[in-house]
Structure 1
Amino acid sequence: MPVELLCVPGLGLEAAEWRAAGDAIGRRVGARRTTLRPLPGYGLRPDVGDDLRPRALAERLVAELPERAVLLGHSASCQVVTRAAALAPGSVSALVLVGPTTDPRAASWPRLAARWLRTAAWERPHQVPVLARSYSRTGLGWMARAMEAARREDVRADLRSLTCPVLVVRGRHDRICPEDWSGHLASLAPDGSRAVTLARGGHMVPLTHPDLLSDAVASWLRASGA
């Protein structure tokens, strides 16, 4: 039975962040449908009263999950899709986490900022206008509130509770999600889970290297039988 791909953008980014990679993955695995799903702070500008905690956003996501969904998250939205998979194990056949955050060694704002700066040097300059447009639409104040909520939720407990396999992907120069962190997360997930480091890229690989990302994800999905 064909799967459905459900892609949640990273914090402050637009849903279109996933368009090139999501469409390529869908074609290669014969997905029934690829959906780009924005949420408040993650593709949508929040409204006053929106609960921006990953667990609350995951509940919104679970309410509309199709059967045999493959959930894909990026950066801070990895907490959202992981919690959703934990809440709806019967609906999620596989989980893809790209550059997941919440490494406890970078839990403070100064350490998180330092990792971001070390990664930014490897990002492609052409994405700056895209990021500026996305961040202005979301609102920097809202982004700060969403990040404050996201950095306090540790993804590891949810990973230990999953029944579906997990792929953890990072760009080679991603210092926000270092290689040992991605490997550790994959080791907590069920059999068939794997950590992959792409040959190039930083933290924004869905935008900068959709070809490499889609190759890695599609190959793993086919091999895992998800």
Structure 2
Amino acid sequence: MRPAAEVLCVPGVGLDAAAWRPTLDGLPQWPSAVAVLPGYGARRRPGEPLDPVALGRRVARERLAGRSGVVLVGHSAGCQVAVEAARAAPGSVAAVVLIGPTTDPRARSWRRLVVRWLRTAAHERLWQVPTLVRSYTRTGPRHLLAALGAARHHDVRAAVRALDRPVLVVRGPRDRICPADWASELASYGAPGSRVVTLAAGAHMVPLTDGPAVAAVLREVLG
């Protein structure tokens, strides 16, 4: 693995940089940034694509070109964007970390997505709600739902299989959106050395609710 020089995070659908602050606060030694995108912390402008392949190529073009040693970290549907960015700019990426990755093929329908979201929300921490409301309002519900609709049709398994480096899948133990068997399955498509880390606590929103624990995992990668 190439030496890591910086961290680039891709938020989940509807989220923005605030969702990463507790994690990035635990990585003061490394330069870090959050790639806010249409549907992922920003509103969509007319004509802007929302599918993970197009967004991944945008990240590769705008945030990875000319760089090397980047640890690319995705959360939720942002994992799908991160994987596509790594495919588009393999020479820039030292490692790929996927936190609570979507979309499990068993939960692509809106009904099953909602069921898994509700089962997970019951285990989330209430203090994060104001941050989520601000992020979702900034993105806009219409743009959020459109981005989620595009993400649920993307085959992240094929994207992971195409990478030339291992992936690290991280999840909270109470995450029903990314259950343990789905995390293991996705890691199995990665290059040799791909693995899963289940944190000691947390559900789906661990970059926000369990930032120090996520940062500890990332420090191992960066180190």
TM-score normalised by structure 1 residue count: 0.92
Partner of 1:166: 167
Deviation at 1:20, TM superposition (A): 2.3
Whether contact under 8 Å (1:16, 1:36) holds in the other structure is no
**Residue-pair matches, total:** 218
Q: CA deviation at 1:219?
A: 2.1
Structure number with greater CO (CA < 8 Å, separation at least 6) is 2
Equivalent pair of 2:70/2:92 in contact (CA under 8 Å): yes
RMSD: 1.2
User: Relative to structure 1, is the Cα distance of residues 2 and 104 closer, same or farther in structure 2, using a 3 angstrom cutoff?
Assistant: closer
* 1:86 is the counterpart of 2:87: yes
Counterpart for residue 48 of structure 2: 50
**Partner residue in 1 for 2:214:** 213
Whole-angstrom distance in 1 between the partners of 2:190 and 2:25: 26
Q: Which moved more, 1:69-78 or 1:9-18?
A: 9-18
Structure 2 residue 24 is matched with structure 1 residue 22? yes
TM-score (normalised: structure 2):
0.94
Cα offsets for 1:64-84 (capped at 9, x unmatched): 302111101100011000011
Match for 2:203: what amino acid? Answer: G
**What is the Cα deviation at residue 2 of structure 1?**
4.4
**1:23·1:34 contact (CA, 8 Å) conserved in 2?**
no
Q: Is the 8 A contact 1:7 1:22 kept in 2?
A: no
Q: Does residue 97 of the first structure (1) align with residue 95 of the second (2)?
A: no
Name the SS for the 2:90 alignment partner. coil
CA distance in 1, matches of 2:43, 2:144: 9
Q: How much does 1:22 deviate?
A: 2.3
State the distance in 1 between where 2:4 and 2:219 align: 13
Q: Is the 8 A contact 2:4 2:70 kept in 1?
A: no
Match of 1:59? 57
Contact 1:19 1:36 in 2 (8 A): no
Secondary structure in structure 2 of the residue aligned to 1:113: helix
Structure 1 consecutive aligned stretches of length 4 or more whose deviation exceeds 3 Å: none
Which residue pairs with 1:40 in the alignment?
A: 38
- Residue deviations 1:120-178, cap 9 Å, x none? 00000011111111111111111111000000001011111111221100101000000
- Encode CA deviations 1:40-91: one digit per residue, 9 max, x unaligned: 1112121121100111111110013021111011000110000111111111
Q: Tell me, yes or no, if structure 1 residue 107 matches structure 2 residue 108.
A: yes
Distance in 1 of aligned mates of 2:221 and 2:187: 13
Q: How far, CA to CA, are the matches of 2:183 and 2:55 in structure 1?
A: 23
State the SS of the aligned residue for 1:90.
helix
Q: State yes or no: 1:183 paired with 2:187.
A: no
